[in-house]
Amino acid sequence: MRLVILGGPGAGKGTQAQQLCSNLSIPLLAVGDILRAEIAGETDLGKLAVPYVEKGELVPDEILIKFIGRRLLLWDVFNGWLLEGYPRTAFQAEELDFLLEELAQELDWAIWLKVPIEVLRSRSIERDRSDDHPEILQRRLDLFHERTIPLLEYYEYRNKLLTVNGDQSPEQVQQDILQLIEAKVK
């Protein structure tokens, strides 16, 4: 099973992704955590990402797709994976499809955690991460809206989009995701 999980900042992607990986026995490829670790480790990739992250901008596609391509070659992803934090634009989704084609893999589903903007804002403020300051958060919400809607259309057109109400308890969201996947696999 090869999955991506989509949603705005504060939608619960990380929580749902971890639970889903545990339930499906696949590794989690969390791009945000990886970038934060690269920045903290002051690696070449991290240094390239710093100016974008500090402004609340998205890290350029060419940096992310190279990293993901390298990551998808490792042995632990042979039987599947869940990618969290990428793709965030229709262009990235297309690049990911090209990359997967080169690797003789195919994405099964894009899981969309649908959460109202007001809820995303309040959840993000509550979690108090360094990239969740009000002005940076507002920029991330604006970018999310501007760039993510075409992404949903991209997956919808390819019949790969599973939409889940993300504005409910984490347990209920997880149950809904698993039920949707199970129904599609049959």
pLDDT score for 106 = 94
> Contact 30/84 with Cβ under 8 angstroms?
yes
Q: Does the predicted TM-score (pTM) go above 0.75?
A: yes
Return the pLDDT at 39: 86
pLDDT given for residue 10 in this prediction:
86
pLDDT, position 130: 63
Tokens of 99: 């990359």
DSSP characters for 149-165? Answer: HHHHHHHHHTT-EEEEE
pLDDT, one tens digit per residue, over 70-102 is 788 889 998 999 999 889 889 999 999 999 999
Containing H/E element for 100? helix 90-102
pLDDT at residue 169, rounded to an integer: 95
pLDDT of residue 108: 97
Which residues in the chain come in under a pLDDT of 50? none
Cα–Cα distance measured from residue 177 to residue 149, given in angstroms and rounded to the nearest whole number: 20
Tokens in use for 79?
């039987």
CB atoms within 10 A of CB 163: 16
State the DSSP string of 32-55: HHHHHHHHHTT-HHHHHHHHHHHH
**Cα 114 from Cα 19, distance rounded (Å):** 17
